[in-house]
Amino acid sequence: MQLLSKTKTLLMTALTLSLMLSGCPSEEGKDTKNTSSSPVANKSTSNSSATPASNAPFVATKVDYKPVVGKAGGKRTITSFSPPKTFNAYLAAETSSNDILGQMYVGLVYTDPLTTEVKPELAESWSVSPDKKTYTVKMKKGLLWSDGKPITADDVLFTYNDIINNPDIPTNSRDGLLVEGKFPKVEKVDDLTIKFTTAKPFVPFERSGLASIIVPKHILASLIKKDASGKIGFNQWGGLSSDPKSLVCNGPFKLKEYIPGQRVILEKNDKYWRKNAVGASLPYILEYITEIVKDQEVEMIKFKAKETDSYFLRGGQDFEVLKPDEAKQNFKITNLGPDDGTLFIMFNLSTAKNDKGKQIVEPVKSAWFKNVKFRQALAHAIDKDTMIKSIYRGLASPQISDISQQNPFYNPNITKYDYDMKKAADMLTEAGFKKGADGNLMDSKGNKVEFSLVTNSGNTTRDAACSIIRADWEKLGIKVNYKPVQFNSMVQQIDETLDWDAVMIGLTGSSVEPHGGINSWRLGGRMHMFNMGNVEQNKVWKSRETSYEQWEKDVIKLWEQAAQEFDREKRKQLYWKAQQIVSDNIPFLYTVNKFALVAARNNIGNTYPSLNGGNGLNTVNWNSFEQFIKE
C-alpha cells in the first residue's frame, strides 16, 4: 500500500511499490437519489472473478474494451495539489511521486485492470514449478532502456538483490516480498531468463512479486557501494533537481523537465517496447504534463476552464457542478463505485526514544493513545453519516476495515463503531477519564486531555472531515489542536521524526489482492505507521526502539499465513480473523469510503476508466501508453 496523497499508483506498478501514504483526493459524495445519472460503470472485477493469479482456477473478467489505432502527437495535461517528493522509484512512498514514476517504470508483469489477469510487460512468458516455489521468467528480446542500452536479466537481478533486498536502502517494496522473513532467491539463468525461488509457496508472488519495477544496473550499480561515511549514493539519487537524462527508465514516458512548484513534464520514451496493431511505436502522446496547484478547488477550476483533460472528483459537490456541463464541455463523468482506498485517523502508539533517551511521544499522551478503550471511545464519536451527507452528498459509505470493501477477502462482519456520543462518554469514564468542572476531559492523574490533529493541506474534503470530528471530540471535553500541514512534511513526521499525536491520512488498497497491505502490519515494516521506531525501518532506532503489543504480533502472523494458503476459503478465514483483531484493537479509526468519480474529456482516445487502474486519476491514466488525442 501507499500513502494516499493520494492517488493510487498505476496498478501495473502499484502492487510493487505497495502501501503508500496519501495526500490526494480521498473524499466526497452526492445525493444518492441522483446517482442514477452517474451509473456505476467499468467496474472490472467481481468477487468471483478477482481470484489471485496464483490460485487456480482463475477466471478473467470479460470486457468490451478494444483499443483502436490512434494518431501520434499532442499532449495530456492533468493536475496534482501535492508535488513529487522524489524521482527515485524505490524511495517513493507517496502517490504524488509514484503517480509520475508509474508512467516512467514498469516490471516483468502487470495486472490488467479490466480483466485482473496477470499479463506480461518486460516478460515474454513465465512458468511455475509444481511445488509452487520457483518461477522461471523469460524476458522479451530487444528491450531497451530510454538511453538505448539493452534491458537484460542483469537488470532484474540487480533490482531485486541489490536494491529491494538492500538493508541500507529504506524502500517499502521489500516487505511485500518476504516469506516468513526470507527474501526470494533470484538467479540469472541466461541473459534473458531469471529464476525466482521463494522459501515457501507464496500466493501473491506471481501477481505482485514479479511486478516489481526494474531499474537500470548500468546507471545505478556504482551507487550502492558505501562511501567513507557509510552512506550509499542511491539514497540521494533521483532528487527533484536531477538532470532528466540521468533518470533512465523503461516505461512509456521519461522526464523532460521539472519546474519546482509548477509542473512535471514527461515526454514520450521512444525506446518503450509496445507497438500498436499496425506496428507503430507507442505511446502516441508526446507530452504528459502534471500541473502542480494549490488545492483541490483549483484542480476543479482548471478542469472547468478546459485547461486540463481529466479530473478526479472530490465527491457530490463537484458532481453537482460538473454534471450539467458534460455535453457542452465534451467530457464524461464515470462512477466507479466505492473507492478501494482507506481514510482514517490514527494515534501515535510508538514508544521509541530520542537520542537523549527520552520517549518521543509525551508519556502522558502515550498512555491515552495506547489505551484501547480511549481509541474505541473516540471511534464511537466519529459521525460518518454526517460526513457522507454533508461532504460527499451521499456518494460514500461507512468504512470499517483495512481491507477494501470490493476485495474478495473483505470481512463485513467485524466489530463496528457506530456513532454514539453517550457510549463514547461512558467508555471514557470506564477507562478512567472524567470531565472537570470546566468541562475539560481529565485523565485519572488529573491531566487535561489535549492533543494535536493534522492532515495534509490543500485537501478540502479531509479538512471538512477533521472539522466534524474535532467538533464531536470537543463535546467530550477533549481539546483538539487542528492544523493542516504540507503533505511531504506530514510524511516526514510519520516516517522519520515520529513527533506527532494524531493524523488523518489515507492508504491505497486493492479490489483484487490484499497482500499489498502487509507492510502496514509487519512490525519492522515501513508502513506500520501507527507504531514506528524499529531498527529495520531506520538504524537510528537501535537501542531505543518502540515496543509492540501481542495483537500486533498476532495480526502479522495471520497475514503471513494467508500469503501461503492456496486454499481460497482457508485464506479468506485467515484474513477475516486478522480484520477482527484489528477492529477490536483499532489502530486506525476509519471514516468513510467515497465513491470514485472521474471526469475525462471525450477527445482522449482509448480511455476506459477502471477502479483497478489505480488511485485517483490513474483510474483513467492506467493505459496512457495507448491513449491519443482525437482530431
Mean pLDDT computed over 258-281:
97
- Banded model confidence at residue 56, pLDDT cuts 50, 70, 90: very low
**Euclidean distance between CA atoms 192 and 228, whole angstroms:** 36
DSSP single-letter state for residue 544: S
DSSP single-letter state for residue 324: G
Encode pLDDT of 325-353 as tens digits: 999 999 999 999 888 889 999 999 999 99
**pLDDT at 318 exceeding the cut of 80:** yes
Encode pLDDT of 194-222 as tens digits: 999 999 999 999 999 999 999 999 999 99
- Banded model confidence at residue 536, pLDDT cuts 50, 70, 90: confident
The greatest distance separating any two alpha carbons of the chain, rounded to the nearest whole angstrom, comes to 79
CA distances from 614 to 7, 89, 383 (A): 7, 16, 28
**pLDDT at 462 exceeding the cut of 90:** yes
- Using DSSP bridges, classify how beta strands 588-590 and 342-347 pair: parallel, antiparallel or unpaired: antiparallel
Cβ distance 99 to 292 under 8 Å? no
The CATH number that domain 342-433+484-593 falls under is 3.10.105.10
The architecture that CATH gives domain 3-70+93-236 is Alpha-Beta Complex (3.90)
Mean pLDDT computed over 166-184:
91
**pLDDT at 44 exceeding the cut of 60:** no
- Banded model confidence at residue 2, pLDDT cuts 50, 70, 90: low
| Residue in 444, 439, 490, 495 with CA at minimum distance from that of residue 466 | 490
Encode pLDDT of 370-384 as tens digits: 999 999 999 999 999
**Euclidean distance between CA atoms 87 and 200, whole angstroms:** 34
**pLDDT at 301 exceeding the cut of 90:** yes
Domain boundaries, the chain: 3-70+93-236, 342-433+484-593
pLDDT score of 197: 98
Mean pLDDT computed over 44-53:
30
What does the DSSP assignment read for 220-269?
HGGGSSB-TTS-BGGGTTT-TT--GGG----SSEEEEEEETTTEEEEEE-
**pLDDT at 29 exceeding the cut of 90:** no
| Residue in 251, 240, 312 with CA at minimum distance from that of residue 81 | 312
**pLDDT at 182 exceeding the cut of 70:** yes
Cβ distance 316 to 393 under 8 Å? yes
**pLDDT at 41 exceeding the cut of 80:** no
Q: 598 - beta bridge partners?
A: 312, 334
| Residue in 551, 537, 558 with CA at minimum distance from that of residue 403 | 558
Least confident of 62-71, 205-214, 410-419: 62-71
List Cβ neighbours of 438 (8 Å cut-off, separation of 6 or more): none
Least confident of 119-128, 224-233, 359-368: 224-233
Encode pLDDT of 560-610 as tens digits: 999 999 999 999 999 999 999 999 999 999 999 999 999 999 999 999 999
pLDDT score of 424: 98
Q: 254 - beta bridge partners?
A: 267
**Euclidean distance between CA atoms 542 and 545, whole angstroms:** 6
**Euclidean distance between CA atoms 232 and 226, whole angstroms:** 5
| Residue in 138, 126, 116 with CA at minimum distance from that of residue 51 | 116
Encode pLDDT of 474-530 as tens digits: 999 999 999 999 888 898 899 899 999 999 999 888 888 899 889 899 999 888 999
**Euclidean distance between CA atoms 600 and 586, whole angstroms:** 38
**pLDDT at 15 exceeding the cut of 70:** no
Tell me the backbone φ, ψ of residue 526, rounded to 5 degrees. Answer: -75, 0
Mean pLDDT computed over 624-629:
98
**pLDDT at 26 exceeding the cut of 90:** no
| Residue in 27, 89, 15 with CA at minimum distance from that of residue 614 | 15
